[in-house]
Every structure is written in C-alpha cells, then in structure tokens.
A and B are shown apart, each in its own frame.
Chain A
Amino acid sequence: MPGGSIPSFPQEIIVDILSRLPAKSIGQFKCVSRRWRFLLSDSQFINTNLNLRTEEENIILISPNHSLQSITDVGGDPVVLRTLKFQPGLPDTWTEVVGSSNGLVLLVNEEDEKFLVNPTTLNQVKIPDSPLALMKPGSFSMHGLGYDASSDDYKIVTLSYYDTDNEYEPDCADTFVDLYSVKRGV
C-alpha cells in the first residue's frame, strides 16, 4: 500500500490538492467521508477545479456509425479513447456536436433533438423545443451553447428559419430565436 500519513495535515491544503484532480477521481473521493463529499460538491471548489485543470484535454467526436467517442489526454498519461454509452433508450444517432462549455457538450441527433450531455458522468438532459418554435419539417435550425457567469447558468440559443431554397438568403421574416436556460428548464 503506497504512502503513509501526516497526523494533522491542514484541511485547506487538502482542498488545494484535490482541486487539481481529474473529474473521475473527484467523483470517487466523494465517497471518502461526509465532509469530503460536502467539500468536493461545493460550487466554489468546482469552479476552481475547472480553472486549474487546464492540462487536461478532451476531444468529443461522432464516429461514422453515429456513436459518440471521447479522446482524453491528461498531460503525460496515455491518451484514452472510449465510446460514450448513454442509458438505454437513447440510440446512437448523433449527427452534430454543436459546442461545449466547461466540459458539458450540446449534441443534436438525427431527429434534430438537442441533448446536453456530461461526457464524464454520462448524465444527459433532453433540451425541449419551444412550443412556439417553427415546424420541424421545412425549417432549419442553428444552435449554440454558452455559460452565463452573471446568472451562473448554461444557456442554449436556437435560431430557426424557413427553407427558402436559397441558403445564402434565408427568409429573415420568419426567423425564430429560442433561448433556453438550463437552470430554470425553460
């Protein structure tokens, strides 16, 4: 078994060390004790962790068979490629990686449905279309994902317009813009 221990190692320094860990280790170490679980779930800890883990690179891509793959490169360690399998019932029909923010990824599938996924925890949320959105067949949509620091929320923007048979001059009169707040769920 590696390592010994120091009787009273300062708590603040332990937090400083833990805030440099990859997400997976943090998930595991939430099971160390009640106190650690609380410390590692703190929003300030999470923000520090996101800022400090700059050496870690994740690439998300869609394979030719429409499954989702991630390539992880943590400075120095061997590169890991894995296929991301979400819960059953969510078929691998991904068509587009729209964008990412702080490790969350916005995806679109064949049905033009939007999903916000966390490639580490494999949590996924379907982003509903606005009831006022343009009819799906016949309209085109563009999407974007971003983090809004002022409200500590992730927001998804959808811009839709009707097909005018002229991709360079979309019919701007029938444009619909939808802003979805992940925190509020509307």
Chain B
Amino acid sequence: MSSSTELTEKKVFLLKSLDGVIFEVEESVAVQLEVIRELIEGDCARPFISLYNVTSEILALVIEYCKHHAETCSGGTSATIADEDLKTFDNEFMNVDENILLELCSAADYLDIKSLFELTCRTLASLIKDRTIIEVRKMFNVENDFSVVEEKAVRKEFAWAFK
C-alpha cells in the first residue's frame, strides 16, 4: 500500500443482507466480491449496497472469508507462508454444516467470489462422492423419474460405477 492511500481515510461500504442486517466493510474486502469490484470500476458504487440473495448468517461468513483473504494477501508475509495460512484457514472455514456449505456456495456464485466458489464446490463434491443415489436425490431434492424398468436398465449400464 502506498503512503498516500494510508493518509487518506479508508473507504468503507455498507452491505445490507436480505434480512436487513448492515455490515460495514473496507474497500479491500468489498472488492473481493466481483459484483462490487465491477460497480467500483464502473464508478457506479454507492456506499450503501443491498444484497438481496444473501442472509445475514451467510453474509457474515462471506465477509469473514474475504477479510482473511484480503489481510493475508496484503500482509508482508512471503507468498509460501501466505499460501499455507490460507490453506489452513480454508480447511477450517469449510468445517461447517452441509446446508451452510450449500448456501455459501450459492452466495459465492451470486456475489462472484471465484476462490470461495471453487472452495465450496470442491468441498461439496468430496462430501457427496461416496453417497448413495437415494441420499443424493434427497440432498438436491431430485425426483426419481425413472420407471422401475428404466432404473434397472440404467444401473446395469453403469454397473462398473457400483463395483
């Protein structure tokens, strides 16, 4: 960070969640949300931004994630130490309830935070990879529209996957 920006007052944004909770974040954190970065670059950013698709519970987590990533990346530590630190943080951060993970994933998509989206997608993939078909149907609310005969045939076709 250059000395001139340090002297000027830090720019803050107010983010309002779906349920009306307002979070104050610094610009360095706000720009991690690609949707906001684009607003800032296009000079369309108002200091007060409403995020209609994210609840306060999830937004608090998203901000915690962005804050940690912004601080680690701007800190004076070497790249390898920063990488290790982020890995540890990410692992712990993903240690949450499955429904929270799904909501975080959806929020990361909506707010366009690529690293968080990748992280949640990978975590969810490793969670579901050994689940049964019935468990997966329940998790994603998918109706089984195969007839009994069709399902038998399709299971036979992909029998290699069940070995």
- Tell whether A6 pairs with B103 under 8 Å between CB atoms, given A21-B128, A25-B130, A31-B155: yes
Question: In the complex, are the beta carbons of B133 and A28 less than 8 A apart?
Answer: yes
Chain B CB within 8 A of A13 CB: yes
* A183 cross-chain contacts in B, Cβ below 8 A: none
Question: In the complex, are the beta carbons of A13 and B105 less than 8 A apart?
Answer: yes
- Tell whether A25 pairs with B129 under 8 Å between CB atoms, given A14-B140, A35-B142: yes
- The A-B contact count (CB < 8 A) is 105
* A6 cross-chain contacts in B, Cβ below 8 A: 99, 102-103, 106, 140-141
Number of interface residues of A (CB under 8 A): 39
Within 8 A of B (CB), among A1-51: 1-10, 12-14, 16-18, 20-37
The distance in angstroms between the C-alpha atoms of A13 and B102, with both chains bound, is 9
Q: In this complex, what residue of B is CB-closest to A36?
A: B142
- Tell whether A17 pairs with B121 under 8 Å between CB atoms, given A28-B162, A31-B151: yes
Chain B CB within 8 A of A120 CB: yes
On A, residues with C-beta under 8 Å from B are: 1-10, 12-14, 16-18, 20-37, 76, 120-123
Q: 5 shortest A-B CB distances, which residue pairs?
A: A27-B161, A20-B125, A25-B129, A27-B158, A28-B161
On B, residues with C-beta under 8 Å from A are: 98-99, 102-103, 105-106, 109, 117, 121-122, 124-131, 133, 135-146, 150-151, 154-155, 158, 160-162
